[in-house]
Amino acid sequence: MRAIILGFDSFDPLQFERLNQAGKMPNLGKLAEAKGYSRLEVCSPPQTEVSWTSIATGVDPGSHGIFDFVHRNPATYVPYVSILPTKQTVLGEQFIPPYTTKTFFQEATEMGYPATVMWWPALFPARPEIPVATLPGLGTPDIRGQLGVGSYLTTEPVEKKKTKVGLLTAAGKGRYNGVIEGPQVKSKSGAAYATLPLVVEVLAGDEVRLTIGKQELRLKPGKWSPIFELVFPAGFAFSIHAITQVIVTEIKDRVSLYFLPLQIHPLHSVAAYGTPASFIKDSWKQNPFLTLGWPQDTNALEDGCISDEQFLDLCGLIFESRKRIYFHHLEHFREGVLAGIFDCLDRVQHMFLHDQGDLVDGWYLKLDEFVGQVQGKVEQLGLEKHRFLMLSDHGFRPFDYKVHLNRWLVDNGFMQLVDAAEPAKTDWGKTRAYALGLNSLYLNVAGREGQGIVDAATLESLLDEIKTKLLGWTGPNGQAVVSRALLKHEVFSGPYTRLGPDLVVGYAPGYRASSETGLGKIPAGPVIEVNHDHWGADHCIDAALVPGVLFANRDLSTIPGLSFRDIPFLAIGKHLDQSYIKPPSKTGPEGQKDMEERLKGLGYL
């Protein structure tokens, strides 16, 4: 058995079909001509971590337990990060796997075949007990245990929405001193950030010398440095290794430079990064790579720390790095499963689909070219009787309006606030429904929620009332705000269904839950807000409106209604037995502030 899989995050069928009709997609177009193309039904909600996990397991969230980027503890209403759960041990806070359901790559190893999976979401932390070679994707934290926030150092104080800002102080002509903060470490006075001093020198010929720790880098303004290592002291005979890249963004009116989030060094990781160690070392040797689950720094672009061009250059570097690693492992592939997720298109569409369509088209053409390169290498290696799949987890749509769903619940009498509380605070004793996450709405159920008031006798009628009002809601453009609102039993099946939201809100094109809604907040002001962000397109809407794609080197026309449930069979020729499913991972207590810090690196929130 040989399965070669390419996952192109957010590869949209409408975009492909338009470009293919224009004759611009020769490699994927050839598969389509041979009936090897289909739109792919994706799970609901169509969020990246939810969808790729459903593809890997062949089941919906009711059977793997990841329902949204943000979940909640019903007893306390406190939100937590679904793809980065933790537990408290005698050693402190530790990351635990976000799900335990069997994947098709795990099944391949149980069939006696090797499996290699790179950059697949929700595979951090590593699971050494499962003999799958992994480089984890979305959900891999930085060295602070967050999803990734960079550092902006400048000679003039500024404020940024998410990015940490540090001051560079003059220390002579063209010379500036600064400090970069690393991970939190224990000290005599309590927890504190480990730091490294740095010196920035502006040299002749628009060159900059950066000295930090034991590193000395020569930088050209506007160009990313190579990946380099930083070592932070963390107590007696102990240090923490991190990797990053830096770019000098200004040297004229002021001096500014930006560091990518400090990331886990794959060869010196405190947490279990990937498995096995020999695979990680071999991959790093071929091409050093960023380890953060969201390495394309959309926050830096949104905060104005880097330019469009610098962001796109970073995406290009990440894509080429992953290609080199993928081709290295393809070179040695003989049987089993080889899979890699390439997610730069997703980040580019988030930031540019709304106003630079030609730029986005260029990435579709780049991915088509990559498919041709992989097919050429497979032919060169003589890998006969192989299964080739290229698929995506969802499509994409414009994001014109932010929806403050909790404010709507207040205005419609489903949620009550404590009088005069600032910021707005929920009166749980009078609240019947609340929203948290990008597509999730919960009832305040008696006996389930900590202060629940909705009893079993009124539950169905309340859901029907909320659903009816949501579907009748029109926005500023005169169009529906919500396309579908699905009850949990309509969309989920399996033992975890009871843990999911009571209503999955499928927004209409142009609308998406606000970041405040995602965090369970209730902002003052209008219910719907015009989106002026650089992040101008999204997919966290009605799953029926953002199908994915599936390409294969076989006839797909004989399989009607292709969905995520069919991928394990198409990959390894076998449907997975999930009857053994274990209880879901349980997260430890996590305060609202800690959760928000952890989620800062996620562009959606």
Say if residue 494 is in the same domain as residue 536: yes
Say if residue 158 is in the same domain as residue 63: no
Does residue 280 belong to any structural domain of this protein? no
Q: Which of 33, 31, 29 is nearest to 17 (CA)?
A: 29
Gap between the Cα atoms of 570 and 4, Å rounded:
11
Say if residue 538 is in the same domain as residue 424: yes
* Strands ordered across the beta sheet of 263-264: 228-233, 239-244, 263-264
Q: Which of 90, 93, 193 is nearest to 590 (CA)?
A: 93
Query: Two tokens at 112?
Result: 């006696």
pLDDT at residue 537 is higher than 60:
yes
In this prediction, residues 339-360 reach a mean pLDDT of 98
**What pLDDT shows up at residue 185?**
84
In this prediction, residues 115-132 reach a mean pLDDT of 96
- Among the residue ranges 43-52, 206-215, 562-571, the one predicted with the least confidence is 206-215
Say if residue 531 is in the same domain as residue 408: yes
In this prediction, residues 74-103 reach a mean pLDDT of 89
* 411 close to 565: Cβ distance less than 8 angstroms: no
Per DSSP bridges, beta strands 115-120 and 133-136 are parallel
Does residue 264 belong to any structural domain of this protein? no
Show the beta-strand stretches assigned E in 292-430: 336-342, 387-391, 397-403
Does residue 313 belong to any structural domain of this protein? no
In this prediction, residues 40-57 reach a mean pLDDT of 98
**CATH code assigned at 537:** 3.30.1360
Q: Which of 468, 480, 469, 537 is nearest to 507 (CA)?
A: 480
SS3 (DSSP) at 489: helix
Say if residue 406 is in the same domain as residue 532: yes
Q: Which of 392, 434, 438, 449 is nearest to 542 (CA)?
A: 438
**CATH code assigned at 105:** 3.40.720.10
Does residue 20 belong to any structural domain of this protein? yes
| C-alpha neighbours within 13 Å on the C-beta side of residue 417 | 18
In which band, very low, low, confident or very high, does the pLDDT at 577 lie, cut at 50, 70 and 90? confident
Per DSSP bridges, beta strands 151-154 and 164-167 are parallel
pLDDT at residue 600 is higher than 70:
no
DSSP secondary structure string for all residues of 169-215: EE-STTEEEEEEEEEEEEETTEEEEEEEEEEEEEETTTEEEEEETTE
Does residue 451 belong to any structural domain of this protein? yes
**What pLDDT shows up at residue 594?**
64
Say if residue 83 is in the same domain as residue 161: no
**What pLDDT shows up at residue 263?**
97
Task: State how far the alpha carbon of 255 is from the alpha carbons of 156, 199, 300, 383, in Å.
Answer: 8, 12, 17, 53
Does residue 318 belong to any structural domain of this protein? no
Q: How many residues does the chain have?
A: 605
Predicted confidence (pLDDT) per residue in 484-505, tens digit? 999 999 999 999 999 999 999 9
The residue among 227, 259, 291 that closes a domain is 259
Does residue 213 belong to any structural domain of this protein? yes
In this prediction, residues 233-259 reach a mean pLDDT of 92
Gap between the Cα atoms of 444 and 72, Å rounded:
12
What is the maximum span of the chain, computed from C-alpha positions, in angstroms? Answer: 77
Say if residue 552 is in the same domain as residue 516: no
Phi, psi of 366 (to 5 degrees): -65, -40
**What pLDDT shows up at residue 562?**
97
Predicted confidence (pLDDT) per residue in 162-186, tens digit? 899 999 999 999 999 999 999 988 7
pLDDT at residue 458 is higher than 60:
yes
Contacts of residue 17, defined as CB under 8 A and 6 or more positions apart, other chains included, come to: none
| Average pLDDT across the chain, whole number | 94
Q: Which domain holds residue 213?
A: 151-259
Say if residue 529 is in the same domain as residue 410: yes
Query: Two tokens at 456?
Result: 């079993």
DSSP secondary structure string for all residues of 4-45: EEEEETT--HHHHHHHHHTT--HHHHHHHHTT-EEEEB--SS
The pTM (predicted TM-score) of the whole model is 0.95
To which residue do tokens 């989030």 refer? 261
The residue among 239, 259, 279 that closes a domain is 259
In this prediction, residues 315-329 reach a mean pLDDT of 98
Say if residue 421 is in the same domain as residue 376: no
Say if residue 349 is in the same domain as residue 225: no
The residue among 259, 288, 303 that closes a domain is 259
Does residue 276 belong to any structural domain of this protein? no
Say if residue 416 is in the same domain as residue 436: yes
pLDDT at residue 106 is higher than 90:
yes
Q: How far apart are the first and last CA of the chain?
A: 41
What total of structural domains would you count in the chain?
Answer: 3
Say if residue 98 is in the same domain as residue 35: yes
